[in-house]
Amino acid sequence: MDTPRRGRSSGIDRVASLGVAFGFSVGLGVATVTVPLLALASGYDAAAVGFLVATSAASQLGGRLVLPWLLAWQPDRSLIAIACALMAGGFALLLVTTALPVFVAAQLLQGSARAIFWTSSQTHAIRGEGQPVRRLVDLNAAGNVGTLIGPAVAGLLAVFGLQLAVGAAAMGALLAGLGVPLLTRLPPYDRTRSAGTLRLLRRDGVDVACWASLVGGAWWAMIGSYIPVILVGADIGPAGIGWLVTASETASVLVLLAMRSTSAGRLRPAVRLGSLGMLAALGALALIPAGILGYLVLLLLGGAASGVVTALAPALASVVAGPDEQGDVMSVTGAFRAAALLAAPAMVGALVAAIALGPALALVSVGLGVSGLAVGRRLVEPLADPR
């Protein structure tokens, strides 16, 4: 009698988790376009906009670092609800005023919300019924579709006013929060049964996943910063840049879906290949002669590789972790991604002071690739059987 009930509960949880991720991501996608435009319209210069973006990234990194303790304190469902409330609250502040202290507070809330939401959603997906890889892929696919739709919604609403677009971002977060009660309530993690973050970093599989997450974060940071600068330098207009980035993200979603049935034994080579694909695409984008066709091919390659890493790097870490280590490994891989989002643009910016942008991007790509040679060299027995 219990089996059908558990099956129905699992089905509701699965649909609800995808709906929550989609709603949150639509709001996030709207904000990605709207927040910089709102800052510029409020009189802030490009340097101030960069500071505001960095504030959100720093907040996200800080959130990732404390999440192992949060996941041991509260059920992941509760943390997902808190993340939705933080995101909606940040946007609500911007509806009241765009004064600098309020803008900074809104960005701090947004960064914290992103960190809490994605890590908690991933741990929730892994603990559900069914294959962890497939559940992670589905979660990430729902999120990617939302972030694809969000910028288009922002563009449509911004015609009528940026405040309306900000309100839509807040509404996306609120609607996501309404689906949280449908998620299955799972107990917090028992961190006394975890090896701890530092020991997990030395575990074979976790180290590769963290490096891949670092590469994935760097790719995403460049998509939102210096790659558009290269495209503008090649005389490609805003509409063309938008379509190129959309094509790259579409390739990512399609590859995500293709990875749903990846077996545990194929995770490591797939993650390594995806990481190297992103680095190759990034380095080539920096150095090839200007041309929209070449840029399109490389952005499709990088986007597809990004889809592999986004889906499979957390899964690789998960299969070598024990049941009560899942919160730690999802937090630590997310922390590496968040660190890259913050540090990669800063590294390129520092290099650009001495050399041209193209060689600077190529150097960062090579550096990340070389760092990958140091991971996956040690074998530490996993505490959990691969699923």
Q: Which of 183-187, 324-328, 360-364 has the lowest mean pLDDT?
A: 324-328
Q: Say yes or no: do domains 1-180 and 192-379 share a fold.
A: yes
C-alpha to C-alpha distances, 166 to 106, 145, 169, nearest whole angstrom: 12, 19, 5
Most confidently modeled range among 102-106, 141-145, 238-242, 316-320: 102-106
- Is the pLDDT assigned to residue 220 strictly greater than 70? yes
Give the Cα separation of 7 and 218 in Å (integer).
39
What's phi and psi for 274, nearest 5 deg?
Answer: -60, -40
- What is the assigned CATH class of domain 192-379? mainly alpha
Give the Cα separation of 275 and 211 in Å (integer).
9
Sorted by sequence, the CB contacts under 8 Å of residue 178 that are 6+ apart come out as none
Question: pLDDT over 90 for what percent of the chain?
Answer: 18
The residue type of 208 is V
What pLDDT, on the 0 to 100 scale, is given for residue 289? Answer: 80
Q: Are 19 and 80 in contact (CB under 8 A)?
A: no
Identify the residue with better confidence: 105 or 371: 105
What pLDDT, on the 0 to 100 scale, is given for residue 323? Answer: 73
What pLDDT, on the 0 to 100 scale, is given for residue 9? Answer: 64
- Is the pLDDT assigned to residue 196 strictly greater than 70? no
Q: Are 111 and 63 in contact (CB under 8 A)?
A: yes
Name the token pair of 348.
Answer: 């390129």
What pLDDT, on the 0 to 100 scale, is given for residue 341? Answer: 83
Q: Are 197 and 66 in contact (CB under 8 A)?
A: no
For 185-225, where are the alpha helices, taking DSSP H only? Answer: 197-201, 206-223
Q: Which fold has domain 1-180?
A: Growth Hormone; Chain: A; (1.20.1250)
Q: Are 302 and 277 in contact (CB under 8 A)?
A: yes
pLDDT confidence bin for 380, thresholds 50/70/90 = very low
Residue matched to tokens 């558990």:
6
Question: pLDDT over 70 for what percent of the chain?
Answer: 90
- Cα–chain center distance at 83: 15
Nearest to 91 by CA among 112, 107, 115: 107
Give the Cα separation of 225 and 244 in Å (integer).
14
- Is the pLDDT assigned to residue 377 strictly greater than 70? no
Q: Are 261 and 139 in contact (CB under 8 A)?
A: no
Q: What is the DSSP string of 338-368?
A: HHHHHHHHHHHHHHHTTS-HHHHHHHHHHHH
What pLDDT, on the 0 to 100 scale, is given for residue 198? Answer: 66
Q: Are 262 and 133 in contact (CB under 8 A)?
A: yes
User: Domain ranges in the chain?
Assistant: 1-180, 192-379
What pLDDT, on the 0 to 100 scale, is given for residue 51? Answer: 78
- Name the burial class of residue 193, with classes exposed (0-12), middle (13-18) and buried (19+) by CB atoms within 10 angstroms of its CB: exposed
pLDDT in tens, 299-351: 999 999 998 998 888 888 888 777 777 778 888 888 888 888 888 888 888 88
Q: What is the pTM of this model?
A: 0.80
What pLDDT, on the 0 to 100 scale, is given for residue 116? Answer: 92
Average pLDDT over residues 163-187: 89
Give the Cα separation of 268 and 255 in Å (integer).
16
- Is the pLDDT assigned to residue 46 strictly greater than 70? no
- Is the pLDDT assigned to residue 297 strictly greater than 80? yes
Give the Cα separation of 25 and 18 in Å (integer).
10
Residue matched to tokens 């590769």:
208
pLDDT in tens, 235-288: 887 677 778 888 888 898 888 888 877 777 788 889 999 999 999 999 998 888
C-alpha to C-alpha distances, 107 to 18, 88, 114, 303, 351, nearest whole angstrom: 25, 11, 11, 26, 27
pLDDT confidence bin for 130, thresholds 50/70/90 = low
- In 10 A of CB 260, how many CB atoms? 15
Average pLDDT over residues 40-63: 80
What pLDDT, on the 0 to 100 scale, is given for residue 4? Answer: 45
What's phi and psi for 376, nearest 5 deg?
Answer: 75, 15
Determine the Cα angle at 224 with ends 333 and 219, to 5°: 40
- Is the pLDDT assigned to residue 125 strictly greater than 70? yes
pLDDT confidence bin for 21, thresholds 50/70/90 = very high
- Is the pLDDT assigned to residue 383 strictly greater than 50? no
Identify the residue with better confidence: 134 or 6: 134
3-class DSSP assignment, residue 128: coil
What pLDDT, on the 0 to 100 scale, is given for residue 78? Answer: 92
- Is the pLDDT assigned to residue 227 strictly greater than 70? yes
